[in-house]
Each structure stands twice: as structure tokens, then as C-alpha cells.
């Protein structure tokens, strides 16, 4: 039940910004129209902004990570919600390890140390949502 | 009367699940044997050049695609094929999508059994041997413990025996001690004893089919164990000095999201491995490729039963380079021997 509520809340938070935008103008973006930019880490990563700005508020991006990528020991100043679109996305928290395929959902509260990765099978594609401005840093 | 009909229907329904095992007797296929560190099919010594098709049993259409390509495989010298009853890594975009040929309690699903028999018989018509892999790392987690593993092994063994399917060998557990494996019986420590127990369960049901267990490379587990009928290795594991060794899974050099595309280094490595196995009489190798094993893949048409292109680019994706290497360096397969062909002009 708790998980259902969390997923519902996440879905709401994912789509409310879009609905709010819809009051002005609909956002209709096909995969081919996404504007990809390079990301510093992990090597070869790219992202395309769906809505918002990570420096100022609620934001969503699509991310592509190359297979065998890893981003170790991260902490965020904001909760993060992730939906896997393709590939095998890996999450390590407190010594626990899980793999998530397409349709998999991950929610990590702010401040929790986590390691994210993309397994060897192929490129990972993810929708990543932060419900507010965020800074991501290596855990000390 | 109504009660009688009801009871009759109940009895009929109870009998139906065993129908797959109760089919009419079938002609036995040629027998595969490993003797004196060499392989024999129908009593004829031969050298295996194989292809690994891990998800070839996933649906009737996919099995049909592979069966329809057996003639082309044989025309290029390929005379061995590996299938996986439990399914295997489906690659990209979803690597956990393998269809399991077993129910959770270990019963062999009749539809999978029928496809397995069809594929084995079609291979036999071309004088080909089939490697039957029983368990794989991901789907064993969905089974109900040791009793289900014993049942799966013994149902498969009995099915092969009862149906006269003898042109086969068995890899009981592919990638023993893989980091993904959950059930203890498929993990070290104690691997030799656990592998011997699995092997004994299979042999109780079918003593004639050679069986082994494939270790995971670099995971501290061996390609042989007490009672193993031959060695199984994968990827770049060294060929043991003693006994006959089957490399059931060459090191794939394409990736699941770019399946069938190779760089020059990857192709050179493959050719080097083929040369090694060509000059090693007590060993055989099965080509593993994302192009052949993956499900969906980059262009959405995997698993590919077809040889496709030369792998130079996405528009040329394929494993034709392997087919042609075997044809040109070993010969086309006309049971019971490879027939050399003239070198390409």
C-alpha cells in the first residue's frame, strides 16, 4: 500500500508539471526530437531535458548511460525518482544490490548514499525526476 | 449419468498434463557419444562446429526460424546447436525476459517439450548434435527449491530418453556460481559435491546422454567434477589438458544493443579462437553472439536464426563471417564428415 501511494505520488509529481504547462501549451516531443547533451559522468552519458531546470526547481530528464557505466557513492539534496525505459539499471544502497529492467521504478530519498549503474547488456535509458532543485555530489 | 460424465471429464483432465510424455513411440535419433576424448554421432567420429541459440525455444515462430536455417548452417559446416530449456539472458532492452520451459515445481512444459523435440529431430536429419542446457542463472530463482530442480532434470532426462532423442548432450547448469545465482545448490563452496548430485539426478533418468556443468569464468569453480562425462567451459577459459571439452559459449564480441556489429579486434579474436579449437582435437566450440541469443535487440528482430551480414556496421549486422570461416576453413557439413570446399576467389 505504501509503495502504491509512493508510485501514485511520483506519477502525480511527474505529470503535474506537464499538466500545468498544458494550461499554456502542450508539450509534445517524440523521441527523435529530444535534444541530447553530454554529461560529465559517467563517461559517455547523455541527457535530454523534458521539463524544468535542475538548478531552480522541479525537473525531469531522459538519461542515456553506456553499458558497464557506474556512478558510485552519490548523495543528492533532493529525492530522486527513476523509471527505466531500456537496459538493466542497477542500484546499490547499504550493501544491497538490485537490477531493474524496462518499467522498473526506483525512488531514493535525499541524503541517502547510493551507487547507480548500467549492466553489460546494453545502453540504459531512464526518466529521472527531481521534485525540486538538486545538487548531486560524491558522498564523503 | 450426469455424475458419471462429470467424473469421466475429471479423470480425462487429470490425464492430459502427462500427454506430452505419452505420445506414440518415435524412431530414435543418432546417438551422440564422447569416447577416448573424441565425439561421435551415430558411431562416426566427427568434429563439432556449433552455434549457441539460447532463446531458440521461446516461441513456435522463433524455433521455426532456427529450424528453417539448419540447412544453411550445415551448408557452411555448422553441425552443432545449443538451446536452453530455461531460456537465457535476453539482452537488450530487457535482459530478464527469458521464457522458462519449466513450471516452478520443475514440470517440463509440454509446449517447450514439443519444440525441443522438433528442433532435435530436425537437427538429426542433418546429422547435427544439440546441446540442451537445463538451468540458467536468472530463472532458477523462480523455482521452488531442490525438489523442483531434481524434477526438472529428471523430467527432461526422461523426455529425451522416452522420445529416443539421443543426438544430444546436456549442460545441467550454465554459469554455475554466477553472481546472480540465488539457490545454494548452484553456488560454491562445495561445488564438486553439488554438481555431482545434480549430475546423478539427471543420470538416474537418462544414463546415456553425456552431461556436465558449465562454470562461470573467473568465479572459482571448475569445468569438471566427480562423475562428469566431459568438461564444459565458456568464453576464454583455457581448455583443460585432460578429457574432452566443449566451450558452450564463446566470448561474444558484439553487444546486445548493437547486436551483430563487430570491430576488427573482436573479429580477430574470434578467428584466433576458432584456429585454436580447429587444431585441438579434444575440444569443440559454439559461437555465442548477442545477434543470435538476444531478444528484440537494436533493430527489433532478434533472436536471429539467420546469418545476416558480415558485421561491419548496423546495416551489415550479422554473423556471416563465422559461417564463412567454418565453410572455408573446415568445409560444408555432410554427415558424417566435413567436405572441404574450394577457397573463395
pLDDT score at B9: 53
Peptide bond into B135 cis (omega under 30): no
Which stretch of DSSP H or E encloses residue B306?
none
In Å, how far is B95's CA from the nearest CA of chain A? 7
Peptide bond into B74 cis (omega under 30): no
Contact B96 A119 (CB under 8 A): no
User: A99 contacts in B (CB within 8 Å)?
Assistant: 96
User: A87 contacts in B (CB within 8 Å)?
Assistant: 92-93, 257
**Mutate which: A102, A118, A122, vs B, most B CBs within 10 A:** A122
Q: What is the pLDDT of residues A115-127, one digit of tens each?
A: 999 998 899 999 9
Which stretch of DSSP H or E encloses residue B90?
none
Which grid cell sits at B115? Answer: 519444440
Mean pLDDT by 10 residues, chain A (140 residues): 60 58 81 96 97 97 97 97 98 95 98 96 97 94
* A–B interface: beta-carbon pairs under 8 A: 38
User: B92 contacts in A (CB within 8 Å)?
Assistant: 86-87, 121-123
Find the Cα–Cα–Cα–Cα dihedral B5, B8, B9, B13, rounded to 10°.
Answer: 180
Cβ neighbors of A70 (< 8 A, separation 6 or more) are A42, A115, A116, A117, A118
Contact B91 A122 (CB under 8 A): yes
Q: Give counts: helices (H), strands (E), chain B.
A: 9, 13
In Å, how far is B123's CA from the nearest CA of chain A? 30
Which residues of B fall below an 8 Å CB-CB distance to A? 89, 91-97, 255-258
Contact A121 B258 (CB under 8 A): no
Which grid cell sits at A61? Answer: 530528464
3-state secondary structure of A74: strand
User: A117 contacts in B (CB within 8 Å)?
Assistant: none
CB B323 within 8 A of CB B71: no
In Å, how far is A97's CA from the nearest CA of chain B? 10
Q: What is the pLDDT of residues B103-146, one digit of tens each?
A: 999 999 999 999 999 999 999 999 999 999 999 999 999 999 99
Contact A121 B92 (CB under 8 A): yes
User: B257 contacts in A (CB within 8 Å)?
Assistant: 67, 87, 121-123
Question: Three-state secondary structure along A11-62?
Answer: HHHHHHHHHHHHHHCCCCCCHHHCCCEECCCCCCCEEEEEEECCCCCCEEEE
Rg (CA), chain B: 20
What's the N-to-C CA distance of chain A in angstroms?
34
3-state DSSP helix/strand/coil % of chain A, to nearest 5: 20, 45, 40
3-state DSSP helix/strand/coil % of chain B, to nearest 5: 35, 15, 45
Which grid cell sits at B27? Answer: 524412431
pLDDT score at B247: 98
In Å, how far is B257's CA from the nearest CA of chain A? 5
| Closest chain B CA to residue A68 | B255
CB-facing half-sphere around the CA of B251: CA atoms within 13 A = 16
Q: Which CATH fold would you assign to the domain A29-138?
A: Jelly Rolls (2.60.120)
> What's the ipTM?
0.81
Burial per residue of A110-124, b for 16 or more beta-carbon CB atoms within 10 angstroms, e otherwise: eeebbebbbbebbbb
Query: What DSSP designation does B122 have?
Result: H
Cα–Cα distance measured from residue B80 to residue A62, given in angstroms and rounded to the nearest whole number: 43
Which stretch of DSSP H or E encloses residue A125?
strand A124-130
Strands A46-52 and A59-65: antiparallel
Find the Cα–Cα–Cα–Cα dihedral B266, B315, B287, B201, rounded to 10°.
Answer: 130
3-state secondary structure of B67: helix
Domains and CATH numbers, chain B: 34-339 (3.20.20.80)
CB B224 within 8 A of CB B243: yes
In Å, how far is B90's CA from the nearest CA of chain A? 9
| Closest chain B CA to residue A123 | B257
Which residues are paired to A108 by β-bridges?
A80
Cα–Cα distance measured from residue B259 to residue B293, given in angstroms and rounded to the nearest whole number: 9
| Closest chain A CA to residue B297 | A122
Cβ burial, residue A94 (10 Å; 0-12/13-18/19+): exposed
**Of A67, A102, A123, Cβ closest to residue B94:** A102
Task: Please identify every stretch of chain B with a pLDDT value under 50, giving residue numbers as ranges.
Answer: 12-21, 345
Contact B257 A101 (CB under 8 A): no
Candidates B203, B58, B94; CA nearest to A102 is B94
Contact B257 A88 (CB under 8 A): no
Q: Which residue ranges make up each domain of chain A? A: 29-138
Which residues of A fall below an 8 Å CB-CB distance to B? 67, 85-88, 99, 101-102, 119-123, 125
Amino acid at each position: 500500500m505504501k509503495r502504491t501511494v509512493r508510485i501514485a505520488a511520483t506519477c502525480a509529481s511527474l505529470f503535474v508539471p506537464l499538466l500545468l504547462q498544458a494550461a499554456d501549451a502542450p508539450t509534445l516531443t517524440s523521441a527523435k526530437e529530444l535534444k541530447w547533451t553530454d554529461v560529465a559522468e559517467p563517461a559517455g552519458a547523455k541527457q535530454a531535458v523534458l521539463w524544468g531546470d535542475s538548478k531552480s526547481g522541479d525537473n525531469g530528464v531522459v538519461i542515456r548511460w553506456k553499458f558497464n557505466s557506474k556512478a558510485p557513492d552519490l548523495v543528492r539534496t533532493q529525492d530522486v525518482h527513476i523509471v527505466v525505459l531500456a537496459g538493466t539499471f542497477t542500484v546499490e544502497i547499504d550493501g544491497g544490490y538490485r537490477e531493474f529492467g524496462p518499467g522498473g521504478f526506483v525512488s531514493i530519498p535525499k541524503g541517502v548514499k547510493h551507487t547507480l549503474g548500467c549492466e553489460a547488456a546494453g545502453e540504459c535509458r531512464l526518466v529521472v525526476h527531481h521534485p525540486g532543485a538538486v545538487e548531486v555530489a560524491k558522498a564523503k | 449419468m450426469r455424475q458419471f460424465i462429470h467424473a469421466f471429464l475429471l479423470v480425462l483432465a487429470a490425464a492430459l498434463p502427462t500427454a506430452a510424455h505419452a505420445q506414440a513411440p518415435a524412431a530414435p535419433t543418432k546417438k551422440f557419444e564422447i569416447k577416448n576424448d573424441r565425439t561421435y554421432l551415430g558411431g562416426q567420429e566427427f568434429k563439432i562446429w556449433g552455434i549457441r541459440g539460447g532463446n531458440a525455444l521461446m516461441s513456435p515462430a522463433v524455433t521455426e526460424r532456427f529450424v528453417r536455417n539448419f540447412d544453411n548452417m550445415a551448408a557452411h559446416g555448422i553441425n552443432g546447436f545449443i538451446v536452453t530449456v530455461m531460456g537465457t539472458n535476453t539482452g537488450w532492452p530487457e535482459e530478464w525476459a527469458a521464457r522458462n520451459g519449466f513450471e516452478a515445481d520443475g514440470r517440463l512444459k509440454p509446449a517447450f517439450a514439443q519444440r525441443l523435440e522438433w528442433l532435435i529431430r530436425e537437427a538429426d536429419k542433418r546429422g547435427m548434435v544439440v546441446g540442451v542446457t537445463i538451468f540458467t542463472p536468472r530463472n532458477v530463482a523462480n523455482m521452488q527449491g531442490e525438489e523442483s530442480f531434481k524434477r526438472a532434470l529428471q523430467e527432461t532426462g526422461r523426455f529425451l530418453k522416452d522420445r529416443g532423442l539421443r543426438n544430444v548432450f546436456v549442460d545441467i547448469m550454465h554459469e554455475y556460481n554466477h553472481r546472480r545465482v540465488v539457490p545454494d545448490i548452484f553456488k560454491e563452496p562445495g561445488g564438486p559435491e553439488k554438481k555431482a548430485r545434480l549430475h546423478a539426478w539427471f543420470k538416474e533418468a537418462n544414463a546415456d546422454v553425456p552431461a556436465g556443468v558449465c562454470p562461470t569464468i573467473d568465479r572459482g569453480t571448475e569445468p569438471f567434477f566427480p562423475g562428469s562425462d566431459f568438461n564444459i567451459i565458456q568464453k576464454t577459459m583455457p581448455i583443460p589438458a585432460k578429457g574432452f571439452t566443449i566451450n558452450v559459449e564463446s566470448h561474444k564480441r558484439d553487444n546486445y544493443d548493437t547486436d551483430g556489429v563487430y570491430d576488427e579486434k573482436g573479429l580477430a579474436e574470434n578467428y584466433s579462437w576458432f584456429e585454436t579449437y580447429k587444431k585441438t582435437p579434444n575440444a569443440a566450440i559454439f559461437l555465442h553472439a548477442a545477434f543470435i541469443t538476444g531478444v528484440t535487440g537494436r533493430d527489433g528482430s532478434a533472436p536471429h536464426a539467420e546469418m545476416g551480414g558480415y558485421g561491419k556496421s548496423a546495416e551489415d549486422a550479422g554473423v556471416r563471417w563465422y559461417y564463412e570461416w567454418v565453410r572455408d576453413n573446415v568445409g560444408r557439413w555432410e554427415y558424417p564428415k566435413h567436405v572441404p570446399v574450394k577457397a573463395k576467389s
